[in-house]
Structure 1
Amino acid sequence: MRKIGLLGLTLVTLGTWFSLRSSPPYISSALPTIKPSPPKTIQYLERILPQGIAHILLIPANSRFVVTGALSAKANTVEEFAQKRKAIAILNAGFFDPANQKSTSYVVVAGQLVADPKDNERLVNNPQLKPYLAQIFNRTEFRRYQCGQTIRYSIALHNESAPADCQLVDAIGAGPRLLPELTLVQEGFVDNALVRDALGSNQLNARTAVGITRDGSIILVMVTQKPSQPNNSGISLLQLADLMKILGASEAMNLDGGSSSSLYYLGKTFYGKVDLQGNLIKRPVKSVLLVQEK
């Protein structure tokens, strides 16, 4: 990842100073200084990017809010998840197969494995994916641990063990990892030898991501396309990694994007993908990240 020089702007959020670094050309001056927010409260930010709009939620560390996972037996929109879960915010999360509505990502809820990609026959029996199954079954996931009386979040590969004295409570897989480095090849999304790029990583698209700051705050991001430019708007994965770094994340991972990109916050829903006529696509999703009060 290229180094980014210091910029004379500072983003003040969550009672923590996140130093803004000089933005790549696609972000330019789209992230102006914002006023300090009261500590321990969720902050919603909307930032206009040259090729899209970034909807950002900042959830402070050690607050009354917790980020958990949820899975639906049948795919639902984030609005439908909100009606059932009564969450403050909901972000689409893991990958799934729209044809059979089975998850292609691991999901753990309340300490129980509720979705296993190895149970998805369309995934495991796909001859084109067989060379990548070991990598697919060990992709990045967002985790919540209970460590004594403390909640900890991390981004880890599926096969990684929980830290000592910590119990895994929730986990939702997707990938690839964005920070501290982009791991497209390692997680089987890209095969340079075969010119395979499952996510169109260099293309502009609606994208979704979750990040963790050094103090343990959570950053949820959903970047929308422009209705006026349905074929050439959004953000690439490299640009998304840069954006997460600018926002203060030390760890970050990509979530299911494209038509799945959707964010609900306090009664309002934002969808990321548009069709060729510029209309928003409201696609049901299989798993989500919930922001709820403890």
Structure 2
Amino acid sequence: MNKKRASWILLLLFIILGVSLSLGIDRLSLRANSLDSSISYDVVERSHYKIHTVTIPHDSNYAVVPVVSGELQSIQDFVNQDKGKVVAGINGGYFDPINHKTTSFIVEDSQIVADPRFNERLVDNPDLKQYLGKIFNRAEFRRYNCQNEVQYDIGLHSSPLLSNCTLNASLGGGPGLLPQNTSVAEAFIAYQDGKQIRDAIGSDSLNARSAVGITPSGDIILAMAAQKPEMPLNSGISLPELTDFLASLGAVKAMNLDGGSSAALFYGDRVIYGRVDREGKEIQRPIKSVLLVQEMK
């Protein structure tokens, strides 16, 4: 074999080796991308509602953070206050639209920043006196720091904290939906002599509703069920339907959030509102609190 031919063969071998290495790198790159955890957004439409969901994987670089405002403001305003870091959000807990005070406990940076016990329109309401103990012990979404790892949980306000963990933030709502419905324990529903005498949020009726759920692996699901504009008076979802839907997505813990005109979800640089008026137009109501999905530093 002459030197010229040997050089061509050697060059050909280098080319083949280079292509193989390149393909190998491409395969590794594709494999890495396929394992990369990212937020997902989905829409499920049925005859009488459309549910928008945002799922945040437990191993992603995002945190679900409760945020409260002194005055009512739109969900877009909440997002704009931390623009660039917020990728998703959903309306939060209950509030009084008259005095703008909370009816739900909210904790930020391990401090109570919203306390329903100081809402005079709530505590001085004679119709609610007998229920106050239960109202102050409603379900809440909690964010913990557990030895430098973030963990989430849902339980009643009186539930003990996770061991070896620090409570960083929480947002009250209710009722708890999974693993069981706690509407009676939280005074959303009340009975007397076997007859229902109270249903504060029309649990079995169709309405726009919002909720948050947690899967066994720790993924967080934000869900907002919107009414249909073409069916303004007969659309939405009931609380039992919403519970079944969250369970179908794998949630084992879930909590209802404020609904109706407050129901709203932010994703993809737009806000989706849940409630519509009689003409089918979206109702954009200012709210007291939100759960925001923020990129962690």
TM-score, length-scaled by structure 2: 0.85
Matched residues in 1 for 2:172 and 2:242: separation? Answer: 18
Match of 2:136 in 1: 137
Partner SS, residue 152 of structure 2: strand
Distance in 1, Cα, partners of 2:146 & 2:181: 28
Which residue among 207, 210, 225 is the counterpart of 2:209?
A: 207
The whole-number CA distance in structure 2 between the counterparts of 1:260 and 1:192 is 27
Residue matched to 1:226: 228
Query: Is the aligned partner of 1:112 residue 2:114?
Result: no
Deviation at 1:85, TM superposition (A): 2.1
- Of structures 1 and 2, the larger Rg is shown by 2
Alignment pair present for 1:180 and 2:192: no
Which ranges of structure 2 fall in alignment gaps of 5 or more residues? 1-33
Q: CA RMSD in A?
A: 1.2
Q: 1:128 to 1:82 in 2, by over 3 A?
A: same
Structure 2 CA distance for aligned equivalents of residues 72 and 210 of structure 1: 20
Q: Percent identity?
A: 48
For residues 220 and 124 of structure 1, the distance between their equivalents in structure 2, rounded to whole angstroms, comes to 30
Higher strand share: 1
Question: CA separation in 1, counterparts of 2:35 and 2:272?
Answer: 24
2:237 is matched with which residue: 224, 235, 238?
235
C-alpha distance in 2, partners of 1:38/1:82? 29
Give me the whole-angstrom Cα distance separating, in 2, the residues matched to 1:242 and 1:85: 34
1:124 maps to a residue whose letter is V
Alignment correspondent of 1:78:
75
Higher helix proportion (structure 1 or 2): 2
Counting matched residue pairs gives 259
Q: Which runs of 5+ in 1 are unaligned?
A: 1-36
Q: 1:288 aligns with which of 263, 285, 290?
A: 290
Aligned to 1:90: 89
Letter in 1 for 2:255: M
| 2:65 equivalent among 30, 52, 68 | 68
Partner of 2:37: 40
Write out the 4+ residue segments of structure 1 that deviate beyond 6 Å after TM superposition.
none
Partner of 1:256: 258
1:86-129: CA deviations, max 9, x gaps? 21111001000000000100000111100000010000000001
Cα 1:228/1:38, change in 2 over 3 Å: farther
Which structure 2 residues correspond to residues 24-35 of structure 1 after superposition, within 5 A?
Answer: none
Distance 2:182 2:148 in 1: 33
1:38 and 1:94 map into 2 onto residues whose CA distance is: 34
TM-score, normalised with respect to structure 1: 0.86
Q: What amino acid is aligned across from residue 238 of structure 2 in structure 1?
A: S
